[in-house]
Structure 1
Amino acid sequence: MQLDVGTWFAAFIDWSLATFGWFFDAVSWLVSLLVGNVEGVLVGLHPILIIAVLAGAAAFLTRSLGLTIFSALAFLLIVSMGLWVESMSTLAVVLVSVVFSLAIGVPLGIWAALNGTVSAVARPVLDLMQAMPVFVYLIPAVFFFGVGMVPGIAATIIFSIPPAVRLTELGIRKLDVELLEAATAFGAKKGLILKDVQLPLAFPSIMAGVNQVIMLALSMVVVAGLVGAGGLGGVVVEGVAQLDTARGFEGGLAVVILAIYLDRVTSGARSLGEVLRSRRIRKEQRTAIKAPAPAAAV
């Protein structure tokens, strides 16, 4: 007995397009609008100004002089290679994809951490999503959105969601039970505990998820270039197709520069959250010490 799974899949794609075509058109319009606006800002402003902003963000979030200098020199190298527009196009795609992935993945991770049933259902789905070959994501994306930037972004979003879900759930689940019991004993509601206790303490793990989402999104850049997503992925694909080693190497080098920058900056943001939380705790402790003691009753 032979199961014709491919025919079933094709029938499902046709049914989805006929039934939810308006939805895919709306998603395509929204994604194109967002990426176009972000890319317009990044490309429209002078490269020196954008480089100054990126280097300033690296300095603020990582407090590393070496990384700040590296960021400035690396992006100046991209300008000198003539790949500034393609790099900013790729950065815009990555930023929009990461925002959508986090908007889906972090709430799902919170829900899974608070609900055992959701966690049990989500676990095999996430396993399947992470085990799926990268190119497989492009097949339904192209069917639903055609060829171009949008299917590349759609495949990137789906491919990048699992670490956001897993690390958010892990960050909340690994918290000390005694802290939650103490908060409950003081009469705090579940929503307040989540906002003021669980999420702040799980922030490092959530930021680790953000880091992984960004890295996975960048790893899809070259693959998305196969379906016309453009940017640096298009440069690399063009270099391979035309056997242009120099152009392909320059495109790959620009991707590596973006990956290093985003990886270090998000890692710095994770440690910055811990520093700010420690400062807030020390400030609250100093305020409590300086507060006048209540007058004794006569």
Structure 2
Amino acid sequence: MERADLLAIRKTLDRAYREFSRNYGEALEVFFDPLLSFLIWFERLLLNTPWWIMIIMLSAISYLVSRSWKLAGSVIFVFSVIGYFGMWEDTMRTMSIILVCTMVAIGLGIPLGIAMARSNRVQSTIIPLLDIMQTMPAFVYLIPIVMLLGIGKIPGVIAVVTYAIPPVIRLTNLGIRLVNKEVLEAATAYGASSSQRLFSVQLPLAMPTIMAGINQTIMMALAMVVIASMIGVKGLGQPVLKSITNQYFTLGLINGLAIVALAIIFDRVSQSYAKRTQQHLSGGRYE
């Protein structure tokens, strides 16, 4: 193909996308308004809750999920240090968008994973899309989203979810497909319907694998924090971006360490829950 032909194709595609943006951009913004309202409410909830109540709640949740006093103590220590260094508000903003993005990814990813597990045709269609999503450079996600919706929270959510959703889809599909066929045959023999087999047998047995997918989704969402800050998402990513552009080494290091601390906390909590789930299913006891 000649260079002139390639240039003509690029111009045609660019023109078509600009027309699509002009015609449907406002409609898409209206469509995402409920999600934006929920995100703003959740962020204000985290910001307006007194810091000591937040720390108690987070440590209590960590203990209930993991049954580990060490992890609960680590949560108290980490968030106390974050508050001491003046990063509390940015951390709460980052937590709000990460938790909302994770909920959206779970809400979309688990049904897609179930559909893939129940149909080889659906699986063969979705897997190439997941491959593209996981190999595409993160900055590329921002181009069409910003052109369509501008900058702000919703474009950030879409970019983070698009980048982070593949693991939960893949591992939901894998977990359901790995369920023992004999167990399914036994459930069928007892008269279980297709939906009963799914919700009472397959999903509970696949839960440790699904939790591993959720864990990876959270980690990938946190990895997008700095990149999402480029399109107006407030949080720990913006000071890091500022430190890069202005060569503020200490600012970038401290906020970067806060992101790492959040990632470790989320990772340990989700892994602990997955281990407890697996121990429960195998009839063992998790210490």
TM range (shorter): over 0.9
Q: 1:9 to 1:216 in 2, by over 3 A?
A: farther
Distance, in Å, in 2 between the alignment partners of 1:28 and 1:7 is 29
Instruction: Give the corresponding residue for 2:104.
Output: 100
- Secondary structure of the structure 2 residue equivalent to 1:194: helix
Where do residues 282-293 of structure 1 align in structure 2 (5 Å cutoff)?
A: none
Q: Is the 8 A contact 2:105 2:161 kept in 1?
A: yes
Aligned equivalent of 1:59: 63
Contact 2:25 2:149 in 1 (8 A): no
2:176 to 167, 172, 196: 172
Residue 160 in structure 1 maps to residue 164 in structure 2? yes
For residues 142-153 of structure 1, the aligned pairs below 5 Å read 142-153=146-157
Which secondary structure state, in structure 2, belongs to the residue aligned with residue 226 of structure 1?
Answer: helix
Range with greater deviation from structure 2 (42-51 or 141-150)? 141-150
User: What letter is aligned with 2:109?
Assistant: G
Structure 2 unaligned segments of length 5 or more: list them: none
2:213 paired with 1:209:
yes
CA offsets, 1:10-67, max 9 Å, x none? 2232232233224321244233211111111111011111011111111111122222
Report if the CA contact (8 A) 2:236-2:255 is conserved: yes
Supply the AA of the counterpart residue of 1:267.
Answer: Q
Matched, 1:87 2:91: yes
Q: Secondary structure at the match of 1:202?
A: helix
Higher CA-based Rg: 1
CA contact (8 A) 1:235 1:247 kept: yes
Distance in 1 between residues matched to 2:31 and 2:219, nearest whole Å:
24
Deviates more, 1:31-40 or 1:191-200: 31-40
Q: CA deviation at 1:68?
A: 1.4
**1:24 has 2:28 as partner:** yes
Q: TM-score scaled by structure 2?
A: 0.93
* 88-97 or 64-73, larger mean C-alpha shift: 64-73
- TM-score of the superposed pair, with normalisation by structure 1: 0.90
How far, CA to CA, are the matches of 1:99 and 1:9 in structure 2? Answer: 33
Q: Is the 8 A contact 1:28 1:145 kept in 2?
A: no
**Structure 1: 5+ residue runs without aligned partners?**
283-298
**Residue 138 (structure 2) aligns with:** 134
Q: CA deviation at 1:248?
A: 1.0
Q: Partner letter of residue 234 of structure 1?
A: Q
Matched length = 281
CA distance in 2, matches of 1:76, 1:12: 51
| Residue 236 of structure 2 corresponds to residue 252 of structure 1 | no
Identity %: 36
Partner of 1:116: 120
How far has the Cα of 1:70 moved from its partner? Answer: 1.2
CA shift, 1:71, in A, is: 0.9
Q: Distance in 2 between matches of 1:21 and 1:240?
A: 32
Asked if the contact 2:229–2:235 (Cα under 8 Å) also holds between the matched residues in 1, the reply is yes
Per the alignment, residue 37 of structure 1 pairs with 41
Q: Which amino acid aligns with 1:217?
A: A
